[in-house]
Amino acid sequence: MKITNTENNYGIVTILLHWLLAILIVGLFVLGVYMVDLDYYDSWHNVAPWLHKSVGIGVFFLSLIRIAWALGNQRPMPLPTHKQWEIIAARITHILFYVLLIIISISGYFITTTKGASIDMFGLFNIPAVTRLNENQAVISGEIHEIAAYVMAFLFLLHVCATFKHHYVDKDVTFIRILKQIKQKENK
């Protein structure tokens, strides 16, 4: 199993980062939507935001690793079934994923540290506040966080639909090669 990407396959690091981030981001979105409606007497009132913040910071750092890894590795070549507009749309979508991950993470950090409070990382250590925001800035950060999260959710659904299209309509290996490395026939 190759660690880095090749012209035909994604490497194991790319595959693991892809799926780990996908699972964590979907979980954060679901938890974020759920916790907005929690009232003070709900048993998750304190736990959900704490978990959302801790995992969110983890996703931020994993995203930075993913971006650095993507910049330092080749992308597998497009398949013959890929149309030019699909290749361009996929690249734009992936760039938007990275940009949105950074925007969501930074705005979430600002929401949390508005009053100078640090972020508790699973009880292991704290991420300190670097600045304090006034109430209006905190509200703006919250709106940016929410809008960016919903845009990310829309792009995620688009990404999943494209995956199904490639797998079931085009019958190509686009989906398979982000699941595992596939063996290519050697040309002699």
| Domain-located, residue 171 | yes
Q: Residue 65 in contact with residue 131, Cβ under 8 Å?
A: no
pTM as predicted:
0.88
Mean pLDDT of the chain: 91
Sorted by sequence, the CB contacts under 8 Å of residue 120 that are 6+ apart come out as 50, 53, 54, 126
Report whether pLDDT(145) > 60: yes
| Domain-located, residue 175 | yes
| Domain-located, residue 125 | yes
The parent domain of residue 31 ranges over 12-179
Helix axes 12-36, 135-164, angle to 10 degrees: 130
| Domain-located, residue 98 | yes
CATH number of the domain bearing residue 24: 1.20.950
Strands 125-127 and 119-121: antiparallel
38 vs 32: CA distance, rounded Å: 10
Report whether pLDDT(185) > 90: no
Q: Residue 126 in contact with residue 153, Cβ under 8 Å?
A: no
Mean pLDDT of 54-67: 96
| Domain-located, residue 49 | yes
48 vs 65: CA distance, rounded Å: 26
| Domain-located, residue 148 | yes
| Domain-located, residue 116 | yes
How many C-alpha atoms does 73 have within 13 Å on its Cβ side? 23
Report whether pLDDT(181) > 80: no
What is the number of structural domains in the chain? 1
76 vs 160: CA distance, rounded Å: 19
Q: pLDDT digits over 44-57, tens only?
A: 888 999 999 999 99
| Domain-located, residue 165 | yes
78 vs 123: CA distance, rounded Å: 44
Report whether pLDDT(130) > 50: yes
Mean pLDDT of 105-112: 92
